[in-house]
Amino acid sequence: MATRSAIGIKHGDRVKGVYCHWDGYPEHNGAILQEFYSNSVDVNRLIATGDISSLGATVGEKIDFGFRWKDDEYVDVGRTYCAPQCIFYSRDRGEDAPFKSFDGEAEFVDHYDHCGAEFFYLFDNGVWYVKAYKGNFKPLHEELARFSKEPA
């Protein structure tokens, strides 16, 4: 089963956001966002490419949607591994799945809640925040620190 998530960036009172289908839990997508998308230029580029099938270490280039990486091509991200690049619905599959723009956090969360998102990631002033389905936004680095203290 997929763990769906939403990824957004705040621009003043507005939020630009995308859907991400696979591995939305903080130990995976959260760790990737924290490690590889740490500035607004990278986050804006990620979101501008539209809805995501699977999050990777870079936005990358067009790739066949069904492409599979070799085991030794995956990138180590602490307690997880990720693909070298993202796979997008629009760019790589040819679907109409652009980013969406919202009038604030509540509208962002409400929209992707209806899409089945279990986790919501929001980049605001250089900091990633995460919210579980029924929770509140918390700094992502604090959530990741909690997982790093748990036994493997």
Secondary structure of 9-53 as H, E, C letters: EEECCEEEEEEECCCCCHHHHHHHHHHHCCCHHHHHHHHHCCCEE
Confidence of residue 79 (pLDDT cuts 50, 70, 90): confident
E strand or H helix at 147 = helix 140-149
Per-residue CA distances from 70 to 73, 79, 81 (Å): 5, 19, 12
C-alpha neighbours within 13 Å on the C-beta side of residue 75: 16
- DSSP-assigned beta bridge partners for residue 103: none
Verdict on whether the full-model pTM lies above 0.85: yes
DSSP string, 87-106: EEHHHHH------EEESSHH
Q: What is the dihedral of CA 140, 106, 114, 56, to 10 degrees?
A: -30
> Average pLDDT of the chain?
93
For the segment 99-116, the average pLDDT, to the nearest whole number, is: 96
Residues 147 and 150: their CA atoms lie apart, in Å, by 5
CA 152 from chain center: how many Å? 23
* pLDDT digit string, tens, across residues 16-62: 999 999 999 999 999 999 999 999 999 999 999 999 999 999 999 99
